[in-house]
Structure 1
Amino acid sequence: KYRTVSYGKILIYSDFVIIASALLVGMGISAVIYGYVMTAVVGYTVDMIMAGSQQSSQVFIVTHDYEKMAQAIVDNVHRGVTLIDSQGWYSKKESKIVMVVCRKRETAMILKFVKTIDPEAFMTVGSVMGVYGKGFQAIGKG
C-alpha cells in the first residue's frame, strides 16, 4: 500500500535513536559506532532487496544512424524505443537521440548490442525507479 516508503530508511532512523540512547545507559562509544555501521548496512541492504525488482535503466544513445539503431533494438532486444529530437551544439547538426528504458539486468546486453551496430555511439545510462506502463509496473489507481 505504501510503495513510496523506504523501509530501510525507517529502520535506519529508528535504530539510530535506539543506538544513541545506548550512550545514556553506559555503553561505550565503540559499541555505538559499531551499531551505526551495522544499521546503515542492514538498512541499505533492505532497500536494495525491496527495490531490486523495480530497478530499471534509461539508456540514451547518440548515433548518426538512429533509424538503424532503433529498428535493431526493437527487432533484437525486444524493447520499445523513443526518438528524441536533438541538435549538437558544436556541429549544429540536427539529429535524434535513441532512448530505451529497460530492466537493470538487460542494460549490459543493450550496451553490447549498440557497440556492435555503431562502435562510436555515445551512450549514457541512468538508473530510474518507478517505471510504469506496458512491459513494466502497472499504473496504480492511487
Structure 2
Amino acid sequence: MTGSQELDVLCYILVVSFGLSILFNRNASSGGLDIIAKIMNKYLHIELGRAMSISGMCVAVASVLIYDKKAVALSILGTYFNGIVLDHFIFGQNMKRRVCVITKKEEQLRDFIIHNLHSGATFYEAVGAYNMEKRNEIITIVDKSEYQKLMNYIVHEDPDAFVTVYNVNDMRYRPKI
C-alpha cells in the first residue's frame, strides 16, 4: 500500500483494531478470525484482543511455508500488537473509575454522589496507621464524565480529602429499580 511493509503493518493495526472494536462493542462480527476470537472469549474467558492475537498467530505462523521471514515476523508482530490495541479500544470506551475517598464531609459527598451523579456508593470503616483514627472510606464507581464532576466537587468542597483512583475494566451488578 505505502511501499513500506512496516508502515503498512502500523496502518493495519490502527485501522483494523479500531474497526473491530466498533464491531465487538455492537456484538457484531466481520466473519473472519473474530468469530473464533468471540468463541474463545465466550467459552475460555479470554479477552477479545488476546483471543484475536492467538487465532491470528496461528495463521501468521502457518504463513512461514509461503512467505519470507521478514513478512512472517511483521505478520506475527502486527497480529500481537493488533490484539493489544484492540483491547485498548474495547476497554477504553467502557472504562470506569473506582474512586475511594476519605473526607470529613462524608454526608455531603454521599448526597452529591447519590443525587447529582445518580450513582451508588459504599462506606467502609478504615483505620489510619499513623494515628489509629477511625474514618469511613467512601467508594464509588463512575464513568469519565461523572469522574470529572466528582473530582471537581471534591476539590471545591474538601481540598484536604484523601482520594485514590483505580481503572475498572469490567463490572457486574444488578441495578436497583
**Smaller-chain TM-score range?**
0.7 to 0.9
Structure 1 residue 19 and structure 2 residue 60: aligned? yes
Where does the alignment leave 5 or more consecutive residues of structure 2 unmatched?
1-38
- TM-score norm. by structure 1 comes to 0.76
| Matched-pair contact (CA < 8 Å) for 1:58–1:127 | yes
Structure 1 residue 98 and structure 2 residue 98: aligned? no
Which structure has the highest helix share of the two? 2
Where does the alignment leave 5 or more consecutive residues of structure 1 unmatched?
136-142
Measured in 1, the distance between the counterparts of 2:67 and 2:95 equals 42
- Partner in structure 1 of residue 25 of structure 2: none
Percent identity reads 22
Q: How far is 1:85 from its partner?
A: 0.6
Task: Give the count of matched residue pairs.
Answer: 134
Root mean square deviation, CA, Å: 2.6
The alpha-carbon distance between structure 1 residues 109 and 60, as it changes in their structure 2 partners (threshold 3 A), is same
Q: How far is 1:5 from its partner?
A: 4.3
Measured in 1, the distance between the counterparts of 2:143 and 2:173 equals 12
Question: Given residue 101 of structure 1, which amino acid in structure 2 is its aligned partner?
Answer: I
- Partner in structure 1 of residue 97 of structure 2: 57
Measured in 2, the distance between the counterparts of 1:115 and 1:8 equals 37
- Partner in structure 1 of residue 172 of structure 2: 131
| Matched-pair contact (CA < 8 Å) for 2:47–2:87 | yes
| Matched-pair contact (CA < 8 Å) for 1:54–1:130 | no
Q: How far is 1:131 from its partner?
A: 3.1
